[in-house]
Chain A
């Protein structure tokens, strides 16, 4: 009930104000800008805002200015262009607003609105002027604008040399000491080190003879050979069979018989068999 009363009072006072300002006995049939702005002020007087800006009761001149200002600002930011008809109707809508705005903020808003409208006009002209430019022409024209503002640097000795990376001497390199192995690392490495002894021809011959004496006159299956001999002994054996150092022949599919080789066979006949030893032996220093 109180709200209805208050709104009636507001309406009556508005009618009075409008009559006084316009000089008419009846309130304006056309939407009077005064009505909007006065109601806005009256409302703010009756219901002062708790904080910040006042809340308008109706869409008044200030709101119209504000909406148009934001509309044009957003359009300019997004590079949109309105039609001339639309811009003209917007301009007519707020053409008389300057007579009613009072506070500096409202004057500033009015100015912003007109500035944005002027910018929109410039944008529209630019779009109309640039509508026929093909991409090539556009690039050429714009490049000329940029080029004539350049003050180029001078490069006479323009061979581009890639400078070598700066390296410090080993002694001064702080990183070298950080990443170098410690004594513990060295001890650990020595434990796992695998070294290969250098064999003389005589020693190799001895090894061959020892291997031949172990195997001559005996028969082994391939599995037994893999058990008995180490990896390097098997390598040596295959070389001896190839070179005729020991004669071997298959008995069945997986048994191999070694016979003493009295003389070298003219044309060694053997089959290649890959036997992988299960005993892995590495020579350690």
Chain B
């Protein structure tokens, strides 16, 4: 007689425990969903620069947690997004640490073929300029010599493509110089950039631009 109520108590406690667990699990999944959406978002700051992903500082504030809690949450997220072919990327921009998601496999990209070609030329120029005095940058002159004077693109097309690449965060343009934007370094790691520079060497090789233009006119 005395055992029955105890078993009832235990079962009710188990049920309550299960409900709590389910509630926690649901809340965690909800949180992971929100985190996923935040990591795949992009926004522009007041200077119209494209910002990719979320800042670590913002995440810590929004989640009311510390670095360890955030790491645990990221580990959970990594387990869940790995089967989708996605990976979590941590990168630094200025003094801030940011997070975003990247695919391991091919996905439809935002860039068109000419835009990829121009980006490839920029990557090749910047990688080859690594040992020179002004490293990590290229000039409009070099792009002109490779693309415009050889008749591969018009000046207007090149300008439009460069504007779009800057708009999408692939490059950063100053007065006459072009440097990598954060997105180029995220999407093309150092090894791939070197490989592109190697391939570009065979594509960009050829006679001088003046000779080409003369041939074309004649």
Among A142, A156, A161, A162: residue with most chain B CB under 10 A: A142
State whether B45 touches A160 (Cβ < 8 A): no
* B interface SS class: mixed
Q: Tell me whether A188 is interfacial, beta carbon within 8 Å.
A: no
In the complex with contacts A79-B205, A81-B207, A160-B196 CB distance below 8 A: no
Q: Could you tell me the distance between the alpha carbons of A232 and B40 in the complex, rounded to whole angstroms?
A: 68
Q: Which residues of chain A come closer than 8 Å to B123, judged between CB atoms?
A: 146
State whether B152 touches A138 (Cβ < 8 A): yes
State whether A158 touches B46 (Cβ < 8 A): no
State whether A158 touches B41 (Cβ < 8 A): yes
Stretch of B22-30, B69-77, B110-118 contacting A (4+ beta carbons < 8 Å): B110-118
Q: Which residues of chain B come closer than 8 Å to A126, judged between CB atoms?
A: 202, 205-206
State whether A155 touches B195 (Cβ < 8 A): no
Q: Tell me whether A194 is interfacial, beta carbon within 8 Å.
A: no
| Chain A residues at the B interface, C-beta cutoff of 8 Å | 78-81, 123, 126-127, 130, 135, 138-158, 160-166
Q: Could you tell me the distance between the alpha carbons of A225 and B196 in the complex, rounded to whole angstroms?
A: 88
State whether A143 touches B120 (Cβ < 8 A): yes
State whether A139 touches B187 (Cβ < 8 A): no
Q: Which of B179-218 contact A (CB under 8 A)?
A: 183, 186-189, 192, 195-196, 199-200, 202-208
Q: Tell me whether B107 is interfacial, beta carbon within 8 Å.
A: yes
Q: Tell me whether B78 is interfacial, beta carbon within 8 Å.
A: no
State whether A149 touches B203 (Cβ < 8 A): no
- The 9 tightest CB contacts between A and B, nearest first, are A146-B120, A143-B116, A143-B113, A156-B40, A135-B152, A149-B192, A157-B41, A139-B117, A143-B117
In the complex with contacts A139-B117, A146-B120, A154-B107, A130-B206 CB distance below 8 A: yes
Q: Could you tell me the distance between the alpha carbons of A57 and B152 in the complex, rounded to whole angstroms?
A: 50
Q: Could you tell me the distance between the alpha carbons of A266 and B161 in the complex, rounded to whole angstroms?
A: 75
Q: Tell me whether B86 is interfacial, beta carbon within 8 Å.
A: yes
Q: Which residues of chain B come closer than 8 Å to A130, judged between CB atoms?
A: 202-203, 205-206
Interface string of B106-144 (1 = CB under 8 A from A): 110111111111011101000000000000000000000
In the complex with contacts A154-B101, A160-B44, A147-B208 CB distance below 8 A: no
Q: Which of B40-55 contact A (CB under 8 A)?
A: 40-46, 48, 50, 52
Q: Could you tell me the distance between the alpha carbons of A150 and B119 in the complex, rounded to whole angstroms?
A: 11
B208 contact from A78, A158, A164, A166, Cβ within 8 A? A78
Q: Which residues of chain B come closer than 8 Å to A145, judged between CB atoms?
A: 120, 196, 199-200, 203
State whether B42 touches A140 (Cβ < 8 A): no
In the complex with contacts A80-B207, A138-B152, A139-B114, A157-B37 CB distance below 8 A: yes
